[in-house]
Amino acid sequence: MSIEHRRHFTVPPPDTGESKHNPTTTWNCYLRELSKQKKYQEALTVYRHMLRSSFFPNTFTFPVLLKSCALLSLPLTGSQLHSHIIKTGSQPDPYTRSSLINMYSKSSLPHLARKVFDEESINLTISYNAMVSGYSSNSMILEAVNLFRKMRREVSFSVNSVTMLGLVSGFTLPSHLKLGACLHACGFKFGFESDLSVANSFLTMYVKCGEVEQARQLFDEIPVKDLITWNAMISGYAQNGHARRVLELYFEMKKMGGVNPDPVTLLGVLCSCANLGAQGIGREVEKKIEQLGFRSNSFLTNALINMYARCGNLVRAREVFDCMDDRNKSVVSWTAIIGGYGIHGEGEIAVELFDAMVRSGVRPDRTVFVSVLSACSHAGLTEKGLKYFDEMVRKHGLQPGPEHYSCLVDLLGRAGRLKEAMDLIDSMKVKPDGAVWGALLGACKIHRNVELAEVAFQHVIELEPTNIGYYVLLSNVYSDAKNLDGVLKVRIMMRDRKLRKDPGCSYVEYKGKMHLFYSGDKSHPRIKEIYRMLDELESLVKEIHQPDHKCQGKTEEPLIGAGVHSEKLALAFGLLNTKPGTDITVMKNLRVCVDCHVFFKLVSKIVNRQFIVRDATRFHRFKNGVCSCKDYW
């Protein structure tokens, strides 16, 4: 009997004689059907009904139920089943035993799993597989590998590809890489490389260990790729910030044909669009979502909100958010929209949304507080920010981490309350990370506090000695104070440590492509037009610009961004290619250079257009191999 016929029953009716089998078999079929449809909770309910109706489970009943417990992470129900199995007297058969091992492993109880494993003197491949995978998924890599070795030694139990899958899935940290690569070579020897699922799992392993290049090499070696292969590589690039490569791969996949994207693919693409500010491509993805009927996937909707928000299109982000069914609005959805308003300085709206979220009964988590606090600090809502921090701890019982403290230090610092910021750091229960001291250093830059800047610098450099941004920041503090010795000191320090500032770059999106500019860049095909436009703008700006006394103190030899700023080039290019009345989003590294804000504001006034300057920090952070090539236009 199919599940369709049973829909109007909560549980199957007792055997009506339609089946020649024993009634338990009918129940088992029903349970298996539920499990196939991933209705695990229902399966367990049906089991209770089964007991109440005095039908007895047999060996085929338990594996299904144990799987439900494993996937729902219900170790209590699982161990009850375990004792029930023991009570039935008979030794659990191999399938039930491997299900038990799996259930305990998935509930993070590998020791109990091992107990079940050890109860049998001769284990079959399936028990070994379950145990190896159990150790592996509980990050007990050594135990997993040892068992794997034992398995290989005992001739009668051969390693199969499922063993490999279970073992490899646990290699998730950079420290696992060496063993993992070894295993990869070993897998080749066994002839597993022809098994696509094994190859895919190694691909994922390289991604998780942070070795995208290795992953790519393997990806290229796989002759016939399936959707999982593409997804593993695409999301691998996405997670490691290689946004540009994600898009390249996505287009390649489309060109190849044969494989259609699924929600996982599009998720990686959208995330990369968000990081690149590639709204045009993002819009196409949205159409695709519509076409393929993935509208109801809330992962995708959240990614869409995030994409539009980060691309500066708050209107569309809000529309997508508002169109969501209230039941589907998770903390993540709220975080995306709140963060969106926060980035663009709309702190008031961000805060209102946060309150609305709490009212709607969604429990805030630590991440959403990061968004709220940073929204407050960007909008100068100092008191509100402090209030929310307090509520986070007292009302919602959430432990503040360094990421919250760095927002709070930023909040107090921007408001000029440097002393309080310093006291806050002293009062921290967790160890301050680089970001906390970095926020203080940034505040010292704004408020020209050389002494405190030196203290903050000492700390931050201990934690992040190779982060060039902080050296630049301190140098600028000295430079503002006309302390040339200080500037020199920092420069020598940078030279000794062989740190070089990568050239910053800005970009705008045009016709679905990124147009990238370095400062003083002359490589763009339409460079002549761009410079002509820029000259025009600069002379117009000079006409209306009254020199600001604050700018006078600047030393003439800045560490970075000398000459024509990259964002000016990007702006000029944007103006050349868009119709009057449309907004232009320029992506730049907000942290490095703020001087261009004045220029942007003035141009905005002159041409009567809106410019959105978007932070491309993420893009810059991971730009190894992303930013260096010139083939963006």
Partner DNA sequence: ATAGGGTTAG
Window 76-105: residues binding DNA (CB under 7 A): 95, 98-99, 102
The 504-543 site mask, x for binding DNA (CB under 7 A), equals ----------------------------------------
Stretch that binds DNA, among 59-67, 384-392, 530-538, 545-553 (CB under 7 A): 59-67
Q: Which of 300, 320, 530, 593 lies at the binding interface for DNA (CB under 7 A)?
A: 300
The 155-184 site mask, x for binding DNA (CB under 7 A), equals -----x-x--xx--x---------------
Q: Which of 68, 77, 371, 506 lies at the binding interface for DNA (CB under 7 A)?
A: 371
Please name the amino acid found at residue 559. L
Least spacing, CB of residue 367 vs DNA, in Å: 4
**116, containing H or E segment:** helix 110-118
**Residue 429 or 579: which CB sits closer to DNA?**
429
Taking each helix axis from N to C end, the angle separating 75-87 and 94-106, rounded to the nearest 10 degrees, works out to 160
Task: Tell me if 475 contacts DNA by CB under 7 A.
Answer: no
Distance CA 276, CA 88 (A): 60
The torsion angles phi and psi of 13, rounded to 5 degrees, stand at -70, 155
The torsion angles phi and psi of 330, rounded to 5 degrees, stand at -95, 175
**Residue 303 or 418: which CB sits closer to DNA?**
303
Distance CA 287, CA 285 (A): 5
Least spacing, CB of residue 590 vs DNA, in Å: 8
Least spacing, CB of residue 529 vs DNA, in Å: 34
The residues in 106-165 that bind DNA, with binding defined as CB under 7 A, are 125-126, 129-130, 133, 160, 162, 165
Task: Tell me if 406 contacts DNA by CB under 7 A.
Answer: yes
Q: Which of 77, 214, 302, 449 lies at the binding interface for DNA (CB under 7 A)?
A: 302
Stretch that binds DNA, among 52-60, 182-190, 349-357, 434-442 (CB under 7 A): 434-442
* Structure tokens that stand for 525 in this block: 């095909």
Q: Identify which of 525, 521, 469 has the alpha carbon closest to the alpha carbon of residue 500.
A: 469
The residues in 321-350 that bind DNA, with binding defined as CB under 7 A, are 330-333, 335-336, 339, 342-343
The torsion angles phi and psi of 360, rounded to 5 degrees, stand at -75, 0
Bin 547: left if φ > 0, else alpha if -120 < ψ < 50, else beta. Answer: beta
**Strand 584-588 relative to strand 611-615: parallel, antiparallel, unpaired?**
parallel
* Structure tokens that stand for 630 in this block: 């010139």
Distances (CA, A) of 394 to 353, 369, 384, 400: 20, 13, 15, 11
Least spacing, CB of residue 591 vs DNA, in Å: 7
Least spacing, CB of residue 262 vs DNA, in Å: 4
Q: Which of 435, 452, 572, 616 lies at the binding interface for DNA (CB under 7 A)?
A: 435
**Residue 19 or 367: which CB sits closer to DNA?**
367
Task: Tell me if 370 contacts DNA by CB under 7 A.
Answer: yes
The pairs formed by 156-159 with CB atoms below 8 angstroms and a separation of 24 or more are: 157/123, 157/124, 157/125, 157/128, 158/125, 159/190
Q: Which of 28, 68, 313, 377 lies at the binding interface for DNA (CB under 7 A)?
A: 377
**Residue 160 or 577: which CB sits closer to DNA?**
160
**Strand 505-510 relative to strand 611-615: parallel, antiparallel, unpaired?**
unpaired
The residues in 436-465 that bind DNA, with binding defined as CB under 7 A, are 438-439, 442
**Strand 505-510 relative to strand 513-518: parallel, antiparallel, unpaired?**
antiparallel
Q: Which of 77, 107, 138, 204 lies at the binding interface for DNA (CB under 7 A)?
A: 204
Stretch that binds DNA, among 39-47, 399-407, 421-429, 554-562 (CB under 7 A): 399-407
**Residue 10 or 217: which CB sits closer to DNA?**
217
Q: Is residue 287 a contact partner of residue 597, using CB atoms and an 8 Å limit?
A: no
Task: Tell me if 407 contacts DNA by CB under 7 A.
Answer: yes
**Residue 570 or 592: which CB sits closer to DNA?**
592
Q: Write the DSSP symbol of residue 10.
A: S
**Residue 234 or 584: which CB sits closer to DNA?**
234
The residues in 238-267 that bind DNA, with binding defined as CB under 7 A, are 238-239, 262-265, 267
Least spacing, CB of residue 75 vs DNA, in Å: 15
Stretch that binds DNA, among 46-54, 362-370, 382-390, 534-542 (CB under 7 A): 362-370
Q: Is residue 612 a contact partner of residue 277, using CB atoms and an 8 Å limit?
A: no
* Structure tokens that stand for 222 in this block: 């796989």
Q: What is the DSSP string of 328-377?
A: G--HHHHHHHHHHHHHTT-HHHHHHHHHHHHHTTPPP-HHHHHHHHHHHH
**Residue 318 or 524: which CB sits closer to DNA?**
318
Least spacing, CB of residue 98 vs DNA, in Å: 5
Task: Tell me if 587 contacts DNA by CB under 7 A.
Answer: no
**Residue 74 or 530: which CB sits closer to DNA?**
74
Q: Which of 63, 364, 561, 574 lies at the binding interface for DNA (CB under 7 A)?
A: 63
Size of the site for DNA (CB under 7 A): 78
* Structure tokens that stand for 335 in this block: 């975080």
The beta strands (E) that lie in 464-604 are given as 505-510, 513-518, 584-588
Least spacing, CB of residue 430 vs DNA, in Å: 12
Q: Which of 232, 304, 424, 514 lies at the binding interface for DNA (CB under 7 A)?
A: 232
Q: Write the DSSP symbol of residue 19.
A: -
Task: Tell me if 281 contacts DNA by CB under 7 A.
Answer: no
Task: Tell me if 617 contacts DNA by CB under 7 A.
Answer: yes
Distance CA 318, CA 332 (A): 14
Burial level of 224, CB count in 10 A (0-12/13-18/19+)? exposed
**Residue 314 or 602: which CB sits closer to DNA?**
314
Distance CA 530, CA 54 (A): 83
